[in-house]
Amino acid sequence: MSEQTFIIVGASLAGAKAAEELRGRGFDGRIVLIGAEPERPYERPPLTKDYLRGESPREKAYVHETDFYTEHEIELLTSTRVATLDPGASRITLADGRELGFDRLLLATGAEPRRIPIPGADLEGVHSLRTLADCDQLRDRIGAGGHVVVVGAGWIGSEFAASARQRGLEVTVIDPLALPNERVFGPEIGSFYRDVHAQHGVELLLGDGVEAFEGDAAIARVRTASGRVVDCDFAVVGIGVMPRVELAEHAGLEVDNGVLVDEQLQTSAPGVFAAGDIARAWHPFFGERIRVEHWANALNQGPAAARAMLGEPGSYDRIPYFFSDQYEVGMEYSGHAPQWDEVVFRGDRNDGEFIAFWLQDGRVIAGMNVNVWDVNETIQTLIRSRQAVDVGALTDSDTPLESLLAQPVT
């Protein structure tokens, strides 16, 4: 029986999956999983989708059954905040003053919504959406109907807008960009999603920022930079997230847009690891450090960190992947494309069923399949192959995607 204590800070997807992996690999020492939220670990994607709309039970959102943690002798401390980390002394202090020593520690403290620094941001009825508690409040708001202003047309804002429309609310989306998610995916995908929302009756005020929320005690209207005034019953702010790095920073770990980790997910302090939204990890395939704020990364990086904590060899080199569901439009995206030469399409965007490929130097560096399924693995293989592709074949729906792998263009 091991005498060792492994502590996991952050009881969400990355943390819970790491704890599961530790037991799964036979670690029989002490595991303490500590989370600031009152809930046992749960997944966040349902909070903009089926759970938000009241279409799925709360139980479905949790990562594990209630008994999982006791059955696996994982000490789950909920409503418990870790206040300090001392890597030199291998100790943490909890907010209530208790101290705990560790042999290995995993930081999985995730990310938190960016606050909007404008007048009225603290008014009643101005919401953000990160936790189950946030979502429960918004479920009630949606249930009461009315008009919601969504600030930010990124994935959270867009998914919330779609769910609110599906529940019959009047929805206005405001974003300073000309098109949703334009900076990351380009105008082709941005205009596709703009049109999807417009077709579902969302009012889009694009190329315009929000300057103030106004009202007496509660929000009653939103004023934009261009001087527009939009009356509303409540607002949801989805303008991105920031990695929760305070603990790491105060501990003296290297931090730069996330906690810096190597390909084994170890931080600059030996024995201290980081995974999920908080980690900016060296990626051996891309040859740079990347931080990924998506579900699949937390799902897979947590267990990878657990294996590294056990001293098992291996590096984390998965191709980043995420998914989004809005109305009847489901999509998956794989890859990492900070810049690209062109975006080409297989299938017609007007039919709502297509695959977009981001190309650089004739190679596929990312792909998004929209309402086309069972292709994402092939897209990832294409990316990994780094081979130049025949664009004619790539964009021809009658040519099987797999055949491109067999016929590299030299």
Ligand X SMILES: Cc1cc2nc3c(=O)[nH]c(=O)nc-3n(C[C@H](O)[C@H](O)[C@H](O)COP(=O)(O)OP(=O)(O)OC[C@H]3O[C@@H](n4cnc5c(N)ncnc54)[C@H](O)[C@@H]3O)c2cc1C
- Residue from 100, 106, 129, 337 touching ligand X (CB under 6 A): that is 129
User: Which region among 161-169, 262-270, 320-328, 390-398 touches ligand X (by CB under 6 A)?
Assistant: 320-328
DSSP state of 300: H
* CA-closest candidate to residue 292, choices 92, 13, 4, 42: 13
Identify which of residues 190 and 320 has a Cβ nearer to ligand X in the complex.
320
Number of residues that bind ligand X (CB under 6 A): 36
Q: Is 36 in the site for ligand X (CB under 6 A)?
A: yes
- Residue from 8, 32, 47, 161 touching ligand X (CB under 6 A): that is 47
We find the least distance from the C-beta atom of residue 225 to ligand X, in angstroms, to be: 26
We find the least distance from the C-beta atom of residue 216 to ligand X, in angstroms, to be: 29
> How far is 21 from 346, CA to CA, in rounded Å?
39
> How far is 216 from 22, CA to CA, in rounded Å?
52
Touching ligand X, residues 235-274 (CB under 6 A): 244, 247
Identify which of residues 34 and 389 has a Cβ nearer to ligand X in the complex.
34
User: Which region among 37-45, 165-173, 180-188, 352-360 touches ligand X (by CB under 6 A)?
Assistant: 37-45
Q: Is 81 in the site for ligand X (CB under 6 A)?
A: yes
Residue 216, token pair as written in the block: 């007496």
Residue 146, token pair as written in the block: 């009315």
DSSP state of 19: H
Identify which of residues 249 and 396 has a Cβ nearer to ligand X in the complex.
249
DSSP assignment of 339-384, as one string?
A: S-SEEEEES-GGGT-EEEEEEETTEEEEEEEES--S-HHHHHHHHH
Q: Is 37 in the site for ligand X (CB under 6 A)?
A: yes
Touching ligand X, residues 140-159 (CB under 6 A): 156
**Stated length of the chain:** 410
- Rounded (5°) CA angle 216-130-205: 60
- Rounded (5°) CA angle 73-263-342: 120
Identify which of residues 35 and 125 has a Cβ nearer to ligand X in the complex.
35
> How far is 189 from 48, CA to CA, in rounded Å?
20
Q: Is 369 in the site for ligand X (CB under 6 A)?
A: no
Q: Which residues bind ligand X (CB under 6 A)?
A: 9-15, 34-37, 44-45, 47-48, 81-82, 108-111, 129-130, 156, 244, 247, 276-277, 293-296, 298, 322-324
